[in-house]
Chains A and B, each alone.
Chain A
């Protein structure tokens, strides 16, 4: 447990410093959010209708982009070999890496998401729900995306491949979160969407480490 906490702190430090960390992801997110009105036109009604959904999809993309190096850097420099030679199961290591990734990148993005949505014209009353969805969804994105990152180890063109592998699997969380936000905006019952999103994130947190560990072992062999 103590070792995992150490690993978590190290991963956090690496995610924070290595390659720009949260600044880069939030920067990407801000840039996408800026392009939206430029593409759709500044009409407030139109933006208000599409803003929550766009903020949500951009969040999925931004979380995904930062995942590329999650396992690759340890795989390339041999740290994954060292980490594997330990009584700590690789499944727990994978889960800790995803949690650290979520803390370093997912949490700042969750804070940025309501800001972006409101700036694009969504009603400020939506902000708390968007924050909650972004936090829970970010967890799901981190675990599912981490699975893609582990599977892409040892491939050419890692980043693009991870996106192609992961995006179809992100269908449920994108739908659940988007559904909850949409229903709230339309004054419909919205809780089921948020609960489904949380359930999906928890299930991904439980199951994805198995796939990640198997993928890492395969790449190391």
Chain B
């Protein structure tokens, strides 16, 4: 897929992964998340106290929002958000607050099938805000969002970085926050 790629991300830093279609942006994110084993090289995590066990870090500190939101169309937006937030360690209160922040509160009682692509993505991003995980792996997070919600989510990302979080995002458009550019070799 690609070789000779290295990136070190410190607390409070964001990196924008760029590259042509098929360069391997999604694969890199899934490698960091532990779904794909790298043919060569490795992914390492470290906390304030030193290196972390990979599996443990992935189970507690890593959060991936990909192209698919993992929402069930027949369930209500509220039940899906609450389940997903709880599963990734977020509380009910923080999930509802995150939904409010992304302007989802009036939509929560609708079934997921009635939401638009942008609204579904916001629901997935709300679970991201709700759960206390430090490394965000985002695959084209802004693509389906309108300008206003891009801005809202940009503020949330900024806050996450200020709190010592890390963001690795695969993007085509620039992120609305200061971020290092990490181009994947063609």
Contact = CB atoms under 8 A, between A and B. Distances in A.
Given A85-B58, A85-B63, A77 B70 contact: yes
Interface stretch (A12-20, A118-126, A134-142, A183-191): A12-20
Interface in B35-88: 35-37, 56, 58-60, 62-64, 66-72, 74-75, 79, 83-84, 86-88
Contact of B72 (A14, A80, A81, A83): A14
20 contacts: A3-B86, A10-B79, A10-B83, A13-B75, A76-B68, A77-B69, A77-B70, A77-B72, A78-B66, A78-B70, A81-B64, A83-B87, A85-B58, A85-B63, A85-B64, A86-B87, A86-B88, A87-B56, A88-B59, A221-B30
Interface of B: 30, 33-37, 56, 58-60, 62-64, 66-72, 74-75, 79, 83-84, 86-88
A116 to B, nearest CB: 29
Given A86-B59, A87-B59, A87-B60, A81 B70 contact: yes
B59 A85 contact: yes
A57 interface: no
A46 interface: no
A7 interface: yes
A81 B35 contact: yes
Interface in A45-98: 73-74, 76-88
Contacts of B36: 221
Q: Give the top 7 A-B pairs by smallest Cβ distance, nearest first.
A: A78-B68, A79-B70, A87-B59, A78-B70, A82-B70, A220-B35, A221-B36
Contact of B88 (A13, A14, A82): A82
Given A3-B87, A78-B68, A78-B70, 12 more contacts: A3-B86, A6-B87, A7-B83, A77-B68, A81-B66, A81-B70, A83-B87, A84-B35, A85-B62, A86-B59, A220-B30, A221-B36
Contact of B37 (A82, A88, A221): A221
Contacts of B59: 85-88
Interface in A11-45: 13-14, 17-18
Measured as residues with beta carbon below 8 angstroms from the partner, the interface class of chain A is 20 to 34
Contacts of A79: 70-72
Contacts of B68: 76-78, 81
Contacts of B58: 85
Nearest to B137: A85
Contacts of B86: 3, 6
Contacts of A13: 75
A17 B83 contact: no
A26 B79 CA distance: 28
Contacts of B37: 221
A86 B5 CA distance: 27
Contacts of A10: 75, 79, 83
B53 to A, nearest CB: 11
Contacts of B62: 85
A83 B70 CA distance: 9
B122 to A, nearest CB: 15
